[in-house]
Structure 1
């Protein structure tokens, strides 16, 4: 009688459909194109964008989702004062149309909230669709007395306390407080050309 040995094979490794990582400078052109595709040409005129203008995102809280070497998602958080309370403002969150069924948005949200909590941030505020963001714990309960410097719908101003009571008593205007964005230094050749012009 011949004994047949079944060969044990290692399970096939299936590559993750995407990777979440810290945003890199090389992501910027693809990020801007993705934001234009998702939010349109007028995205720079929106209320929350006005808060972000000229500001750097919070340290470690600019994330990219990459699939097969292509940027398919982006999320950033920014320092704000929420009626006198330190908080982060989330946005924009954008996912490429061909990657929306992969869970990229949820993965970016979960990663950002985990990082924010681990860095000791107390609260996150955003302007978005309540049904989508409710699954992450966001609600209007903590933001009902807050305002934005521009037009917005109160039902879309949502908050999440990472630390209980972080938004207690938050009342008034949400204002940008983060570090100013550093301008890229021009090369010596660029400076010479602009001086000669």
Structure 2
């Protein structure tokens, strides 16, 4: 007697799942190519890049979305002082343009914010589209007195508190406080080759 077999169901590439995991060293080339595709070769000149240059992302807060063996999304968070208040800055958030209908950006945001909260961080700031990031709890309510090291649009500087009052009275320049990269790696990062709204 032959055992009956369940029919094979072919998944269309649109239906293929994606996974979110910690970023790996082997992701660097694909991540850089994805960021170039999303932000262009001038992305290293963006204001928020000055908060990341020569610094390592916060521990456990560099995530990658992978689909069919390809990196299709990335998000990182970085240690900063937000006018004297310890915080994280989120960005860049990028999703492969061919995969923007799959919810990858939202999934990366939810996982990154949950991980930041679980690690005891008090607040996150970012530079991005307020209508998009409002769904995750970001507002401009407590960022009005903060500045960035370069040009930026005031209504795009947003904050989210995990600890109530973490950004109360925050005033002044947002400056990087993360662990410096070893010099050789920092030089390589600067010389690297140059829908969802993205956090810069």
Q: Does the pair score TM above 0.5?
A: yes
Pairwise TM-score range, normalised by the shorter structure: 0.7 to 0.9
Q: CA shift at 1:68, angstroms?
A: 0.6
Q: Which runs of 4+ in 1 moved over 6 A?
A: none
Distance 1:71 1:181 in 2: 23
**Count, aligned residues:** 179
**Could you state the TM-score of these two structures normalised by the residue count of structure 1?**
0.86
Q: What corresponds to 1:42 in structure 2?
A: 42
Q: TM-score, normalised by structure 2?
A: 0.84
**Any unmatched runs of 5+ in structure 1?**
1-6, 186-197
Higher relative contact order, structure no. (Cα contacts within 8 Å, ≥ 6 residues apart): 2
What is the alpha-carbon root mean square deviation over aligned residues? 2.1
Larger Rg: 1
Unaligned runs of 5+ in 2: 186-200
**Structure 1 counterpart of 2:124:** 124
Q: For 1:168, what is the secondary structure of its paired residue?
A: coil
Offset from partner CA, 1:125-145 (integer Å, 9 cap, x none): 000000110000000001111
Aligned to 2:98: 98
- Counterpart CA distance in 2 for 1:164 and 1:182 is 35
| Matching of residues 171-186 of structure 1 within 5 Å | 171-183=171-183
Residue 27 of structure 1 is matched in structure 2 by 27
The SS at the match of 2:108 is: helix
- Is 2:54 aligned against 1:54? yes
1:72 is the counterpart of 2:66: no
- 1:157 and 1:173 map into 2 onto residues whose CA distance is 12
